[in-house]
Amino acid sequence: HELRHRRHWFPRYVGQVFATFAGDPNRGIAHVKGHHLDLDTPADTDTAYRGELLHTFIFRCSYGAYAEAVSSEARRLRQLGFSPWNWRNVTYQEVVLLALPPALCGYFAGGVAAGVAVASMVVAKALM
């Protein structure tokens, strides 16, 4: 978590890679540019509502993190004069990172290992 708050690119990238194993490589953008600004407001998807069920919160939090990351990256790229569909869009890197652990497990150890990798990422995300 704290690695994602650093100013230098390397600790932030390491934090992103570690979060990938929990199925959450996009959390850095949404957490810093969304949660820290909108803390405990209806716009904050990282804070559970009182009485909200865990699986509902996980879905809402995950969807909100991706939505925040996509809109934040589009805004950033437009400010730099690029299209949101430009290859510099960090959300593309996040999708590749998310697919990489199961793909590598599947390639080196077979389909069952890929399934175990996906299941472990889902469980880790639920425990975060």
Each residue's pLDDT tens digit, 25-75: 777 676 666 666 666 677 777 788 889 898 888 888 888 888 888 888 899
The total number of structural domains in the chain stands at 1
Could you tell me if 60 and 45 are in contact, meaning their C-beta atoms sit under 8 angstroms apart?
A: yes
Residue with tokens 């879905």: 59
91 contact partners, CB below 8 Å, separation of at least 6: 26, 29, 66, 69, 70, 73
What range defines the domain where residue 108 resides?
2-127
Q: What is the pTM of this model?
A: 0.72
Q: What is the pLDDT of residues 82-111, one digit of tens each?
A: 999 998 888 888 888 889 999 999 999 999
